[in-house]
């Protein structure tokens, strides 16, 4: 049986004891199993409700001093963290692979995305958070100052599929806005988040400003929601609805990135080879365990045969397996439950008449959780994979007769997270993109154009969630707007002997003058 400290031939800068020191946890230990290496296990202490309350109390105390520090000081921590993440890129990538079974490229992309986010908010926070002078009611007599005040304590309930980048990125935006952070990583993927928090402390984050608790959603997640002032949740739509109800009970805000049944549209002027290569990235990155990955392809009928042949050929050429190098294009799934869900969706479709063009089986010879990238044709509404999110390496192809039919098919979903449009005419692609009910749409790219551009807000429409991460919106969700009004010389009420009627008449004249001089 291997231990965490022997994850790689070269020693990692973290060991199990050092990472466990980041936890506030006094409950029973839980056995953790690697999704990558079958004999790699570890014991992790879990948190009790009392631990969650204690962590929240400690972080609230630290947050008060942090909020009083200049924004430039907070930015410096993020910029130093950017460098630390890049310096420890290989070790973080190893942890992501061992915890989640990812292919190395998928893991490395997550590390790089975290560094980009740290740099973005490290450079833009002062501009986004500066105080603003508003327009007072009466020119020169009424002054309005707007301040952006930290929420206080931000809670994060993290996903298992991307436990580093969105998880820590949400926390970075909360930190630079002046908040403290209380994090619950997923049961399957705690170590890489703990390593990132450890790095933050290494570059100067004050003690207790970011605390971590560990345990089940029912035991620890609900208690966390009861302690915080704002919540970030990434996960399934079903769980997101429960989380939203719990937040509503406390009248606290939340941002929810939830499920997707993301479409990819191949228009009739698309470059078939380029679109097919992009579709492979769109569908099978991180073995389809990516909120923005594609599960439905709508291809113009006149290109359908050529596109399908090229797409299937490129899918078959993917290299599968578990390797700590870049020789595998796709790794495994994260848990047995996830593998069983993928298997069930494919078998249901097959039994009801769908054709499996490639894939369609588990590959235990390559790893206990490896499932072949699978392309389906002839999927219909009675099949589970038609509308339900599979969240695995499975995609269905549909032929369409026009752009309008493609848009209608893409929008015919309860979800609206991400979409992809392929065309030789970028302007046409943007016109089609504007008709799609998705929070992000990428033209001639799978998801990287929006996901990798940190200035682009990211989030879902419909049942895919609430709120946005990335961009200015990703920072401003963590602050409250406070208006301070100062009145000079005269009150905003009848005075100086004016009767109420005379006051109203005079004020009416003032309003007409303000409109005439084009004042807002």
Residues with active-site annotation: 257, 291
Contact between residue 484 and residue 145 where contact means Cβ atoms under 8 Å apart = yes
Contact between residue 322 and residue 367 where contact means Cβ atoms under 8 Å apart = yes
Contact between residue 47 and residue 60 where contact means Cβ atoms under 8 Å apart = no
Instruction: State the angle between helix axes of 71-87 and 89-100 in degrees (0 to 180), rounded to the nearest 10.
Output: 70
Number of helices (H), then strands (E), in the chain: 18, 20
Q: How far apart are CA 107 and CA 104, in angstroms?
A: 5
Alpha carbon distances (Å) from 466 to 10, 217, 476, 477 = 42, 20, 14, 11
Distance of CA 328 to the CA centre of its chain: 25
Residue 370, C-beta contacts closer than 8 angstroms, at least 6 positions apart: 320, 321, 322, 331, 332, 333, 362, 363, 364
Residue 301, C-beta contacts closer than 8 angstroms, at least 6 positions apart: 399, 400, 401
Alpha carbon distances (Å) from 336 to 330, 331, 332, 362, 435 = 17, 14, 10, 11, 38
């Amino acid at each position: 049986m291997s231990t965490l400290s022997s994850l790689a031939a070269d020693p990692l800068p973290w060991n199990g004891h050092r990472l466990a020191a980041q936890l506030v946890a006094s409950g029973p230990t839980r056995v953790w199993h690697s999704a990558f290496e079958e004999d790699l296990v570890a014991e992790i202490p879990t948190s009790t409700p009392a631990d969650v309350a204690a962590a929240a109390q400690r972080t609230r105390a630290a947050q008060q001093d942090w909020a009083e520090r200049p924004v430039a000081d907070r930015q410096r921590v993020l910029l130093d963290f950017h460098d630390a993440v890049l310096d420890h890129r290989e070790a973080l990538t190893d942890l992501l692979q061992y915890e989640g079974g990812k292919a190395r490229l998928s893991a490395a992309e997550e590390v790089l995305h975290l560094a980009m986010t740290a740099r973005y908010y490290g450079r833009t926070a002062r501009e986004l958070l500066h105080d603003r002078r508003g327009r007072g009611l009466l020119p020169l007599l009424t002054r309005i100052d707007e301040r952006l005040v930290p929420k206080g304590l931000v809670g994060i309930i993290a996903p298992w599929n991307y436990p580093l980048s969105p998880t820590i990125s949400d926390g970075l935006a909360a930190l630079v806005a002046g908040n403290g952070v209380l994090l619950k990583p997923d049961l399957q993927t705690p170590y890489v988040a703990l390593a990132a928090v450890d790095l933050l402390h290494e570059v100067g984050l004050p003690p207790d400003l970011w605390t971590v608790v560990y345990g089940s959603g029912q035991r620890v997640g609900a208690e966390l929601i009861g302690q915080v002032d704002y919540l970030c949740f990434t996960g399934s739509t079903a769980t997101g609805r429960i989380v939203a109800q719990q937040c509503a009970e406390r009248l606290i805000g939340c941002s929810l990135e939830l499920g997707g049944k993301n479409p990819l549209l191949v228009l009739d002027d698309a470059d078939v080879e380029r679109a097919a290569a992009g579709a492979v990235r769109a569908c099978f990155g991180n073995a389809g365990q990516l909120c923005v990955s594609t599960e439905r392809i709508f291809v113009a009928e006149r290109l359908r045969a050529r596109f399908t042949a090229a797409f299937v050929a490129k899918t078959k050429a993917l290299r599968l397996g578990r390797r700590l190098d870049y020789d595998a294009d796709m790794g495994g799934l994260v848990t047995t439950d996830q593998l069983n869900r993928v298997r069930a969706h494919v078998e249901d479709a097959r039994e009801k008449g769908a054709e499996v063009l490639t894939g369609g089986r588990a590959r235990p010879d390559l790893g206990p959780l490896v499932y072949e990238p699978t392309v389906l044709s002839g999927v219909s509404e009675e099949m589970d994979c038609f509308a339900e999110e599979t969240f695995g390496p499975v995609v269905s192809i549909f032929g369409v007769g026009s752009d309008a039919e493609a848009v209608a098919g893409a929008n015919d979903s309860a979800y609206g997270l991400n979409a992809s449009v392929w065309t030789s005419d970028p302007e046409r692609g943007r016109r089609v993109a504007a008709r799609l009910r998705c929070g992000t749409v990428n033209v001639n790219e799978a998801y990287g154009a929006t996901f990798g551009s940190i200035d682009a807000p990211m989030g879902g429409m419909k049942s895919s969630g609430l709120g946005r991460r990335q961009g200015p919106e990703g920072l401003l969700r963590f602050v409250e707007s406070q208006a301070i009004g100062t009145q000079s010389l005269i009150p905003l009420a009848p005075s100086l002997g004016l009767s109420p009627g005379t006051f109203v008449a005079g004020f009416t004249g003032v309003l007409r003058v303000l409109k005439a001089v084009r004042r807002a």
